[in-house]
A and B are shown apart, each in its own frame.
Chain A
Amino acid sequence: MKIQKILTAGALSAALLAGTAGADVRDIRIGVDVPYEPMEYRTPEGELTGFDIELGNALCAEIGIDCEWVVQGWDGIIPGLMARKYDAIMSSMTINDERREQVLFSDPYFTPPSAWFAPADVEVGTPSEESLEGLTIGVQRGTLQDNYVTDMYGDVADVNRYATADDMVLDMDSGRLDIVFLDYPVGKSTLLESEAGNYKVVGKMITEPKEYFGDGFGIAFRQRDEALAETFNEALAELKANGTYDEIHTKYFGE
């Protein structure tokens, strides 16, 4: 079914400037690699869902086009875009310079959050130099969380570095660690869900500053589809402004 295209004047002029053949944005197909919970996965009924999928659908609705999801393995996901199997990739793809040489990225739509986790019975205030002083913090060695904690709190707290998240959980269970700083989805599955009630999140999700947490995920397009990318950027800005983005974000990552 085709829906009448509704284009903002800005997108229209951008499309004209970029010199695309059609003045309108046609229905598109989006490549995605599943499963990668909670970003993209299938429900037990086989339906695609996840943060990327819901946000992608909301973006398409905002633009006023129909989007079809095409499942594609990660290895071939950029070649598939070049071969026109689909017109965009929305699959937790981190924006970086190597990829920028091949594809055109939208504005970042998401930065994977990190969070502080502590045993439920330990009283820790919002993490700061004062509240973490003298505590033992666990991190995974060599991760961005390690760099962040070492630079911010390495002088006031003990930092224990682990090879795997499992070792770290073991040491927190035994009481050797007061608090850990983890990728939020990892912490959620290993601490909040598998040991329900024993652990809690302390403070807010952390995605800043950029030098530690990176540029985040972007939607990838073919280099020449500048108008399409611009249309998505505007739709993204609109969703962030009208609260739809926050709604989806809260659904998958909590407050």
Chain B
Amino acid sequence: MEALLARLEALLADNSIFTLQTLSYYGEGLVTTVQLVFLSLVIGLVMAVPLAIGRGSRHRWISLPIFLYCYVFRGTPLLVQLYLIYYGVVFVEGIQDTWLWLILEKPFVPALIAFTLNTAAYTTEIFRGAIKATPRGEIEAARAYGMSRGLMLRRIVLPSAFRRALPAYGNEVIFMLHASAIASVVTIMDLTGAARFVYARYYAPFDAFLFVAAIYLCLTFAILYFFRWLERRLLAHLKPAGG
């Protein structure tokens, strides 16, 4: 590791912009971006499953609030949601004195909340579509076996809905990665934040942003291949025979 750093330093000796210092900003930015996106996607996914089931409920008092939630969060820009959550909470009287302030003071948690609520709304809609598209025959067959609603959901509806939702969900993950670039407006030093810092410091927009664009591209490729692998495994039964 030491030797690697020394070699890197020698390699960068002539470079006025990409020093070890700025590279460490990019490195920390990468960690922050991945944490933020990964956490919001996982929490969003966990929230989306029950919400998607509830969204298709016959009881309006369940489905209507979920519809409204999805409508609001898909109908407003993520940037506006982030501003509202980060700057809005401080106008709640006396919030600074409660335990909530401990987690809301730093920008990470407000951004995580905004991203999670946003991705959960989109994911709910993706899953709802997939659940709705369950072939009637499968449901009838499950009923014929005498399965309860819960068992049918668990064994028949959800597994096949997850498979159908996979390609669309992969898209949502990539969108989320790119949407996370706005985190720097609330002072988070994510990848884009690091790029903006380097840009402002050295007046070098091309270097700073091309470099960060390359990192985003690599991340996107990784996500893309992960989902391709998942699809190959989970959707193997849909492939043409002998293909």
Residues of A within 8 A of B (CB): 141-142, 146-147, 150, 160-163, 167, 170-171, 173-176
Contacts and interface: CB of A to CB of B under 8 A. Distances in A.
26 contacts: A141-B196, A141-B197, A141-B200, A142-B196, A142-B197, A142-B199, A142-B200, A142-B201, A146-B200, A146-B201, A147-B201, A160-B107, A161-B189, A161-B193, A161-B197, A162-B187, A163-B185, A167-B87, A171-B87, A171-B187, A173-B90, A174-B87, A175-B90, A175-B96, A175-B105, A176-B106
Contacts of A171: 87, 187
B187 A174 contact: no
Contacts of A150: 201
Interface residues of B, number: 16
Contacts of A146: 200-201
Interface of A is mostly: mixed
A174 B201 contact: no
Given A146-B200, A150-B201, A161-B187, 4 more contacts: A142-B201, A160-B187, A161-B189, A167-B87
Nearest to A170: B87
Contacts of B201: 142, 146-147, 150
B196 to A, nearest CB: 7
B196 A170 contact: no
A72 B214 CA distance: 48
A93 B240 CA distance: 74
Interface string B190-205: 0001001101110000
Interface in B89-132: 90, 96, 101, 105-107
A162 to B, nearest CB: 6
